[in-house]
A and B are shown apart, each in its own frame.
Chain A
Amino acid sequence: MKDLLGLEKMTRAQIERILETTRPMKALFTRSIKKVPVLRGKTVALLFFEPSTRTRSSFELAAKRLSADTLNIAVATSSVTKGESLLDTAKTLEAMKVDFMVLRHSSSGAPDLVAPEVKARVINAGDGTHEHPTQGLLDMFTILEKKDRVDGLRIVIVGDVLHSRVARSNLWGLTKLGAQVTVCGPATLIPPGIREVFGKKVQVSFNLEEALRGADVINVLRLQRERQEGNYLPSLREYTELYGLNQNRLRLAKPDCLVLHPGPMNRGVEISSEVADGPRSMILEQVTNGIAVRMAVLYMFSGPNGFTLDPSEIEKENNAIEPALRDIA
């Protein structure tokens, strides 16, 4: 697998392999020198067609902690602005011999358009309302770390599922790993045909209290304030009233229920400060894990054949990374 375009295209085994590799990466963070030389001499281009601070910084730190060089290209543009075409930009970077293109774009499918045209590995850092695979992976890693499993867990994704690439990548990943997922939100923000896409493992609920009963994990999506203008909602106040996660509602879930949020948060809209800053909140842990997951992804896709489950390749990878980790220890 040359590129990481989405979790839809990955198997359970592939996802688990990335999550396993994330652990040693995270272990690095507790050391005084957080850098290993495994991607020394590689160049990672961060090609962001949409403003993003956290995802971009996270990828940048991930690349740097693996000793890769990074190139930041922020293209201030909306999806309809005329200018150099996406393919031309990608081919220009290709001519600069970058090894990775980490691509964020407001149009769904943009990384799929670029990937076959370039030799560089394309890592989808969020495309339109399609996928955000590394976010899906870091959410799963966060769950796995605390719960030791994903299989059989009851997970609620609440909010603007319709416009959320985070939700789609979560849904693909979590269902592949055997979780039972309930998506919850007003009917205007639930994607058409979602049950047909994801099958029996996904339930739809319009009632957050009902959805939360017995939940092991709640993933709270960010509510874009513009949704009010599209008449998806009458008001933010009403949204908070019906779908905001607060302490009272959290009590309906299991006592050890984890609260996830991809950030940035609208405090007091989709999540109360009490919950966001409370003991069940994994929000800052997710930020830390995001770097580890992205290190694992960059590392695993950097091989001559991209990402592989070939046992001999895996051994080589392990042999390469273990001494690097030991050296620093």
Chain B
Amino acid sequence: MNDIKKFSEGPLLIRGGRVVDPAHKRDGLMDVLVREGKIAQVGKNIKVSGDVSVLEARGLIVAPGLVDMHVHLREPGNEDAETIESGTRAAVAGGITSVVAMPNTRPPMDNVAGVRFILRKAEESGAARVWPTGTITRGRTGESLSEIGAMVGDGCVAITDDGASVANSQLLRRALEYAKVFDLVVIEHAEDRALMADGVMNEGPLATRLGYKGIPRQAEYVAVARDIALAELTGSRLHVAHLSTLESVELVRAAKKRGVRVTAEATPHHLTLTEDAVTRCGTNAKMNPPLRLKKDCEALVTGLVDGTIDAIASDHAPHTRSAKEQEFSVAPFGIIGLETLLPLAVTHLIRKKALSWTDLIRKISLNPAKILKLPVGHLGPAAPADVVLIDPNRTRTITSFCSLSQNSPFAGKTLTGFATVVIVGGRVVMRDGLLK
């Protein structure tokens, strides 16, 4: 799947769109010429001759394909909720051309065979590129290091025990140090497990009213503080996944100011929903970290604007209907997000003028690619021709999803800003919602 040639078809000219390519400081009406699966040329009024297909992009944004750095594809082990095939189709439907697969599958991706399995499956059935990650610890049990070097050799782009934090500080220190050998980023699901205990939503008056066990905001930011301290100690690259609290944003901001090599992401749901969604959406508003308060949403937006938060990632976490249609305390954490990431960002960040298009494409394409050292996320010469065409004005009510699972609190919401054409490796894989 990551073999670019596989997608190659005839040359393609994307004409007259507004090209937004932050890596090359482009934002203007330009043409993009794609040849042999790569970007051949970007510029005004490109002249072509011979057999070139033309895509009219007037009124559309033309951007590097989106990169979602936090996705649970559920294969192997939970294929009734999602597969690599269905998950990458959902990605493409949402304008996403690169999917970073979290390793908390069953069994967890803690060895070379696992990484190879993901890549092989992606090659056979993936609609988008899949970049595997490996676990930090064997079996994701938090006890001993996985064979990180071997996994990197086979294409693993980051390590993470996502779903849980590495509780043992000494072990996390070693993982950070060891990752330095490969200049590999360590992604932390920052959460103090003991403090989280068996909580199921944000701790506070609403949880008390509903009789649900709370997860205090401190469970996240004590771990963020520790993780930053260990990144500082080791000089290694740390990426903090799905920030949910104001205090976490402040900690990352201060750490960046001190020169700590830390990056961070936020999810569309933490940016746009508060804990009140629990009363409206039930288990489709149950996720970890939990939805917090308005001040947290605002702090996350501020963090995006001032560069504290580098990326927006979906934390796409599919669960079957029967898994979610259970008692709140029993149902699993997580919601799907591949297909709503872009329209939520456009609706809540572009249209409310928090971010420019250049800023947004940075957060959902260029930056995640840079953090993970992926060759995508830009429209430079000879870059893989992963391109998304976005209609910034298309408005649609979300009714169903390409994902095998439908667990979303955004069903029924009317959003604006959808991908209309998606190109992976020079090949059109989605056009007006129709998948190839």
Interface residues of A (CB under 8 A from B): 8, 79-80, 85-87, 105, 107-110, 113, 127-131, 165, 168, 191-194, 196-197
Contact = CB atoms under 8 A, between A and B. Distances in A.
A165 B208 contact: no
A85 B205 contact: no
A197 B208 contact: yes
A87 B330 CA distance: 13
Among B213, B327, B330: residue with most chain A CB under 10 A: B327
Interface string B173-206: 0000000000000000000000000000001111
Contact of A130 (B203, B210, B325, B330): B210
A79 B214 CA distance: 17
Among B204, B211, B322: residue with most chain A CB under 10 A: B211
B209 A113 contact: no
B204 to A, nearest CB: 5
A85 B326 contact: yes
A107 B329 contact: yes
Contacts of A194: 205, 208
B327 A110 contact: yes
A80 B200 CA distance: 14
B208 A108 contact: no
Interface in B315-332: 322, 325-330
Given A79-B327, A128-B329, A192-B203, A109 B211 contact: yes
B283 to A, nearest CB: 9
Q: Closest 4 interchain pairs by CB?
A: A130-B211, A193-B205, A108-B211, A107-B327
A47 B327 CA distance: 15
Contact of B325 (A87, A110, A168): A87
B177 to A, nearest CB: 34
B402 interface: no
Nearest to B326: A85
A319 B204 CA distance: 47
Contacts, number: 71
Contacts of A107: 327-330
Given A85-B325, A192-B205, A108 B212 contact: yes
Chain B interface residue number, banded: 20 to 34
A193 B325 contact: no
A128 B325 contact: no
B322 A108 contact: no
B354 interface: no
B209 to A, nearest CB: 5
Contacts of A127: 211
B106 to A, nearest CB: 16
A109 B282 CA distance: 9
A131 B322 contact: no
Contact of B327 (A8, A86, A193): A86
A191 B325 CA distance: 27
B207 interface: yes
5 contacts: A8-B209, A85-B326, A113-B327, A192-B214, A193-B205
Contacts of A86: 326-327
Contacts of A79: 327, 329-330
A259 B282 CA distance: 38
Nearest to B214: A192
A169 to B, nearest CB: 10
A77 to B, nearest CB: 11
B327 A197 contact: no
Contacts of B209: 8, 168, 197
B327 A105 contact: yes
Nearest to A168: B211
A193 B209 CA distance: 9
B326 A109 contact: no
B207 A192 contact: yes
B6 to A, nearest CB: 42
B329 A193 contact: no
B212 A193 contact: no
A131 B211 contact: yes
A80 B330 contact: yes
B325 to A, nearest CB: 6
Given A109-B328, A128-B329, A196 B211 contact: no
Nearest to B325: A87
A257 to B, nearest CB: 27
Given A130-B210, A168-B211, A192-B214, A108 B205 contact: no
A127 B329 CA distance: 11
A196 to B, nearest CB: 4
Contacts of A113: 282, 325-328
B205 A197 contact: yes
Given A108-B210, A109-B211, A196 B325 contact: no
B208 A191 contact: yes
Nearest to B209: A197
A192 B212 contact: no
A141 to B, nearest CB: 23
A192 B329 contact: no
B212 to A, nearest CB: 5
